[in-house]
Amino acid sequence: MPASASPSDAARPPTLLVLDTDPLPRLGKLTGRARIEHADERTLAERLPSADVLLVWDFASHAVRAAWPGEGPRPRWVHTASAGVDHLMCPELAASDTVVTNARGVFDRPIAEYVAALVLSMAKDLPRTLELQRNRTWRHRESQRVAGTRACVVGAGPIGRAIVSTLKALGITAALVGRTPRTGVHGPDDLDRLIARADWVIAAAPLTEQTHGMFDARRFGMMQPSARFINIGRGQLVVEDALVEALTKHWIAGAALDVFEHEPLTPDSPLWQVPNLIVSPHMSGDTVGWRDELGAQFVELYERWEAGRSLPNVVDKQRGYVPGH
């Protein structure tokens, strides 16, 4: 059944299965309108066949990808409380009639603000200032003016567009690169040219076969020695060993990573001690109250689905993101 249709069995409320993580979503508004059940990584596979809707609240889990190919019917609609869908997509889900939606729109401005903070922090040498303060060392330095610099933002979805808008407010000339060229958006053929002259290269693309490992030794090698690289997209966009080499050999001036190939970073990860690298624990979009926003967004989507109305944020399961922008 398409997501635009209302549940067919009016005598029984639809079964909403939640892949849990703490704290649980606030779904009180759905009382009496959905039979809410809960699952974790161990129980998801056995409970999937009885669910009409699956809410992937634990968006760091890969349990859906593992459980989906099993026996029995599958939910007609899957919603993930995240912008990316790579953690749940598998060939069987991609080939099914199940509609997949994401949390598009919740994280745009917070991530853009975080990127702006990283740009200013690196330009003004704030990590060094804090280090010198801890050591009680008075060392005057000059910092960089960000107005008049150039940025290349890779990923033309709402997050990438919000980043461009925020950087422009700082006086930074920002070029946006997407999957296909269109008004205001460069195509992949322009990427190498743009990053070669950019002061700031920002990865905000979804993880797909085309973007996996796109920032490798070749691309870091063509950046300016004064350039800084920021990744708030997906960890697998970056070949981490190549970034470590680029920073260690001073091919680029600095980098900031909020996402990583394997999370969380282990204490013995070499990334903790790479020179001129800022490491943050996948928090760029997580502002105070973000979980409540995610829960409220899902309730709104559920009400649309329940009423037989079309859903926004529908993911193209072959491409791996919401198309049209």
Q: What backbone phi and psi angles, to 5 degrees, belong to 110?
A: -55, -40
Tokens of 320: 């791996």
Q: Where are the beta strands (DSSP E) in the chain?
A: 15-19, 35-39, 53-56, 77-80, 99-101, 150-154, 173-177, 200-203, 228-231, 254-257, 277-279
Pairing of strands 150-154, 200-203: parallel
3-state SS class at 317: coil
Tokens of 122: 């690196």
Contacts of 203 (CB under 8 A, 6+ apart): 154, 155, 214, 215, 229, 230, 231, 232, 233, 237, 238
The answer to whether the CB of 25 falls within 8 A of the CB of 3 is no
Pick the catalytic residue from 37, 92, 131, 263: 263
Q: Is 263 tagged catalytic? A: yes
Strand partners, 186: 177
Pick the catalytic residue from 79, 161, 228, 234: 234
Q: Please report the DSSP string for 76-142 in residue order.
A: SEEEESSS--TTT--HHHHHSS-EEE--TTSSHHHHHHHHHHHHHHHHTTHHHHHHHHHTT------
Pick the catalytic residue from 282, 304, 309, 319: 282
Q: Is 171 exposed, middle or buried (0-12, 13-18, 19+ CB in 10 A)?
A: exposed
Q: Is 33 tagged catalytic? A: no
Q: Which residues are catalytic?
A: 234, 263, 282
